[in-house]
Each structure stands twice: as structure tokens, then as C-alpha cells.
Structure 1
Amino acid sequence: MTQHPTDFSKLKALYINCTLKKSPRLSHTKGLMDVSINIMKKEGVSVDYLRFVDHDVAPGVYFDMTEHGASEDAWPEIWRKVDAADILIIGTPIWLGEKSSEATKLIERLYSMSSKQNDKGQYYFYGKVGGCIITGNEDGIKHCAMGILYALQHVGYSIPPQADSGWIGEAGPGPSYMDEESNAQKNDFTNRNTTFMTYNLLHLAKMLKASGGYPAYGNSRSQWDDGTRWNFENPEYR
């Protein structure tokens, strides 16, 4: 039976909130992430969510840092959720114009998996889709998105058009996203961008899943290592 063009029910999405606040403290970033999460749930997507700071994830660039000196490491457990998801959305607050330290640690741990290969011999994240959601009381949405989306595509995630959304208040101390006086939840610009981002992620993930990911012609690490060079012309390999 052919799946309807807007049937996203076979997709899985994982939202990782990189707030610095442990549960159950209020996370303004989670407030905006919920806008996207609710859209996906209404579209029948299987959605998972976690706060990165709630888990004892060791810093490092190996799969299991307990094998490299850490006393404990929750990354192998979190990895199972990342591995199962077609879509990964990273949420972060802005601190000093940058993404949070938790977001940096998450990206480092994703990088630790980037040398894995799928069954086509491509880098493992090929065929998966990424985006980001950002909140704060200072400038930096686009700067944070630039770094996060670059990192995601570098390790192999696909980034659709307008794959980020965010909200910031006035510069300096003031109301945050979930504070009633900010009126942020009624901000049309943020709601529009969050909606567009969510559907762009869904459309791209659905297209990639339906086509079985990317063809392996020209991008298979295993084939390159076996000597395949496709149309790369280099006298060394002639």
C-alpha cells in the first residue's frame, strides 16, 4: 500500500534539550521545543525527548568513555535513541552568544560515532536529518544554529531548508520564552519558523527513508578503501 505524501507516521524523531537546568526545573528551551514536538505528534510521528544534563554523559570522543578513564558514561544508552531516530533536533539556550556546554558535549559525542559505516559503507548518519531550536535573552540564534547545523552535516546528517528556529527577548536581563510577560508563545515569526522547520525536517526525512537513503555511488568509504575511485581522476590511481 502506497504511503500518502503527507503520512509521516513511519518516522521517528528525537529531541535532545541541552539546557543547563536539570529536571524538574523549568526549561524555556523545552517550551519552544514543545511547539515542534506537538506538531510531530499530531502528524503521527514517534517522538522521544530527553534532557542531556539529566544523564551522566562523560566528555570525550569515544563511544564508551569508561574505557578511557571515565567513572561512568551514559552515552551508550543515549546512543540507542539517537540510532533509532530518523530526525534529531538539538535544543539549546544561548550563553555568551554561544550554544550551551551541554550542546557542545553532545556534538562531540555524535562526532565519536561519525566513523561508523552503514550497510552501504557510507558514514553512519547518512540518511538521517537534523535541525535545532534555540532560546535566550541575548543575540545569537543564527550564530548558534550555524555551528550546530554545520556540525550535524559534517558528521553526515542532512539539513533541509530553514532547519532552525528560535526566540530571544530584549538584550540583557528580562522575561524568557515561558514567562507570560514575554508574550513569546504568541510570536508569529517564531511560530512560523518553528512550524516550517518541523515540516521541512519531516519532508526530507520521509524522502530519504522512502528512497533508502543516499545512493552509495561516489560516497562509500568501504568502496574507496577497496580501491574504487568512480570518476575521480588522479594519476596515482590510473
Structure 2
Amino acid sequence: MASENWYKLGPVDDYKKIPLKEIKISNKLTIALSYHNGKFGAISNTCNHVGGPLGKGRLDDDGDYVVCPWHSWKFHRITGFGEPGFEEDRVPQYHLKIENNELFINLNPVTTRNKKPHPPHPLSRDNTRREGPIRIVGISTTVMDKDNPRYSTSEKLLKIALDHAKNDLKCDTLLIRLNELHFRSCEGYYSKSAKACTWPCSITQMDSSDQLDKVYEALVHWADVIVVSTPIRWGAASSLYYKMAERLNCIQNQITIQNKILIKNKVASFIITGGQDNVQDVAGHMLGFFAELGFLFPPFPFIAHSRGWSAEDMENNMIDVENSSDLKEGAKDLVRRCVEMAEILVVTDIFKRKVVLSGRKARKIEMSEKK
């Protein structure tokens, strides 16, 4: 039984008005106070997951569990125990009492916090590069009807670049078509709190059917080089590109809130095509965005094609790309520049790691000799 250290919260009627409320008692203690079916409950305000404020969440449909506003973890509003199946995952519970129509809380918790071990998400592993040839992932962001696919100029040039990398430059290659992946849009966890935007992505952690994990795996763990292709749509990159880019915020956010850099010594480049011009603006956005993620760029990091604002005859645009030897050679040259830069970065990284390991060994020997 917890020792008694009662603190007056205030008139009972004041706390019956809101089903769930965050109450700060001191700099060290904030609780989630709830009221449902004539009974109060008080538990720690801090979620076990990444510290979300439980008191700013909601009660579930039955009114028994507090739902964290960040990532929807649930804890019983009175006992603090986790939802069924995760009961061992609990937050501290606090006793309450009513005297003279005033609500009091015992500041000494009844139970302690217990974080049930959850298996780490595969994406959360260390992203040290494994040995092997240069690895290139191409990401096509063009949108089309899967049952009735059409010719895509941007994807065509991307395939030419990947084929050249595989057959002539002896690289490992992977093509990801965003159009073939089922993934949710960014749901704005960052807007709740910077710390709510996690790595791996909050959505990826909660929804095993979300397929953007393939992109995360490729960018963070697998690839040395990425080549992103996009059509120009009303002066901008494709809608799928932006849908992906919003979900990539979880990578950049780790730099700003944890000083954790997930993208190191990786090269990015772009293929941009469209019937109407705005190449420099699209390229500028893509360069700025991927630079913020940590990618580096080769000389002349994009190729592009456009027939200008008045070119509405899109069938001729497709013919131009299909018949253009300059664009096909440009795609090959682009990936070659990427590979050359990636090779330098990989060799440099290996050398640095060897120097670090040698330094550690030397320090160990020196410490051993001193002993």
C-alpha cells in the first residue's frame, strides 16, 4: 500500500465536466485524470512508448482505456495496465479520494511503471553498410492505372539507367514503383510534437500492412545510390512523390531532435520529364529536400526533358523520349556519375572505420600497459 501524501486537486464538480484531463501538479509530476460512469481515475501522464501526454488523448469507446494522442497506445484509466494482450505494459496508478466535495490525489503511486519488452522493429537496426558492390535503387513516382498501364517517360529513362548500372557497371539494382505500393499518407504526428514523429515512422510501427517500409529499407539500409524519377504535374513533381516525401520527414526529424543521422555517404540524383516546362523548380525542390535528409549529389545531379508550355500533344512527347538517344545516354551518364561518387564515399567510409578501430585498439593496448 502506498504511503499517504494527499494533495487537493479542487472541487469534485470541476473535474466531472471533462472525461480526460492533463493536470500538472509539479515539475516532476503530471497526471492523466479521467471521469467515466461516476468514477474517477488517475494514472501517469507519460506514455510508455515515446512519452506521449496521455491526458491530452481520449478515452476509448467503452471509456475504460486512455488512448495516447501520439500513437494510440492504450492504458486502463484507473489501474494503468496496458490494453488486453499488453497488460504487463503499465503506467503508474494514483489513488484518489473525495472529502467535503473536494478531490484529493495521493502523490505516491500505487504501482510502478513497467515497460514490457517489445520486439524492435526491423528498420530500427544499425544502418552500417554491408560489403558488396554498389547498390542502386530507382524510385518511380509516376501515377497510373495499374490495370491499364501507360507509357511513362520518366520511368522509361529510370529503367535505362538501372539496366546500365546492372549490366555495364556491375551494380546491384532495385526498382521501386510507388504506384504499386499501398501506403498511408503522413498523418501529422510531427504536428502533435516533434518527438511524436519517430523512427521507424509511427505509421510503419503501428500498421504492418503499410508498404512504405520498402522505401525506408532501401533508402536507409540498402542503397548507396538512389535515383528518383518523376513527371511534371502542373509545374510540380507527382502527387505520389509528395506523398512519399511527407512520410520521409521521420528520417530528417531524427537529425533535429536526436542528432541521429540515418543517411550517411549516400548519393541521390533525379530524372524529371514533363510535357510542360518547370524543370528547374521541380529539381530545386528535390535537391533541397534530399539534401536535408543527408544525401550527397554528383556533378550535374539530374537530367530532364520538356517540350515547353505550349506542347499539349503528349503523344509526341512520348515519341520524343522513346526516340531520343541523347536522353538515353543522359540517363546512363547520370547513373555513372552517381556510381563514381558512391565508390569514393564507400572507400572513404571503410578507411575511416578502419582508422577508428585501429585507434580503439591502440587505446586499449595503452590502457592495458598502464595497468
Pick closer, same or farther for the CA change 1:50–1:169 going to 2, 3 Å: same
Per-residue CA shift, 1:32-77, capped at 9, x if unaligned?
1122112101211111001112211212164132667x79521223
Counterpart contact for 1:64–1:73, Cα < 8 Å: no
Distance 1:176 1:45 in 2: 33
Distance 1:139 1:72 in 2: 37
Per-residue CA shift, 1:177-229, capped at 9, x if unaligned?
8833x3x234354344323321111111111111117979xxxxxxxxxxxxx
> 1:145 — aligned with what?
283
Among 200, 205, 214, the residue aligned to 2:342: 205
> 2:158 — aligned with what?
33
Could you list the runs of 4 or more consecutive aligned residues of structure 1 that deviate by over 4 angstroms after TM superposition? 213-216
Matches within 5 A, 1:1-238: 10-23=133-146, 25-26=149-150, 27-42=152-167, 43-60=169-186, 62=197, 63-65=201-203, 72-82=209-219, 83-116=221-254, 123-170=261-308, 171-176=310-315, 179-180=318-319, 182=320, 184-212=321-349
- Kindly state the Cα deviation for residue 116 of structure 1 after the two structures are TM-superposed: 4.4
- Kindly state the Cα deviation for residue 108 of structure 1 after the two structures are TM-superposed: 2.0
Between the two structures, name the one with larger relative contact order (CA 8 Å, sep ≥ 6): 1
Pick closer, same or farther for the CA change 1:79–1:66 going to 2, 3 Å: closer
Distance 1:177 1:39 in 2: 26
- Kindly state the Cα deviation for residue 153 of structure 1 after the two structures are TM-superposed: 0.8
Q: Which moved more, 1:37-46 or 1:206-215?
A: 206-215
Instruction: Tell me the amino acid that sits aligned with residue 78 of structure 1.
Output: V
Structure 2 stretches lacking a partner, 5+ long: 1-131, 191-196, 354-371
Matched pairs, number: 202
Instruction: Normalising by structure 2, report the TM-score.
Output: 0.49
Pick closer, same or farther for the CA change 1:214–1:152 going to 2, 3 Å: farther
Counterpart contact for 2:266–2:296, Cα < 8 Å: yes
Distance 2:292 2:351 in 1: 15
Distance 2:254 2:174 in 1: 23
Instruction: Tell me the amino acid that sits aligned with residue 35 of structure 1.
Output: I
Distance 2:133 2:317 in 1: 31
Instruction: Tell me the amino acid that sits aligned with residue 230 of structure 2.
Output: T
Instruction: Tell me the amino acid that sits aligned with residue 198 of structure 1.
Output: V
Q: Cα RMSD (Å) of the superposition?
A: 2.8
Structure 1 stretches lacking a partner, 5+ long: 1-8, 217-238
Give the strand-richer structure, 1 or 2.
2
Counterpart contact for 2:228–2:269, Cα < 8 Å: yes
- Kindly state the Cα deviation for residue 110 of structure 1 after the two structures are TM-superposed: 2.2
Pick closer, same or farther for the CA change 1:214–1:88 going to 2, 3 Å: farther
- 1:96 counterpart SS class: coil
Counterpart contact for 1:126–1:213, Cα < 8 Å: no
Instruction: Normalising by structure 1, report the TM-score.
Output: 0.74
Counterpart contact for 2:204–2:212, Cα < 8 Å: no
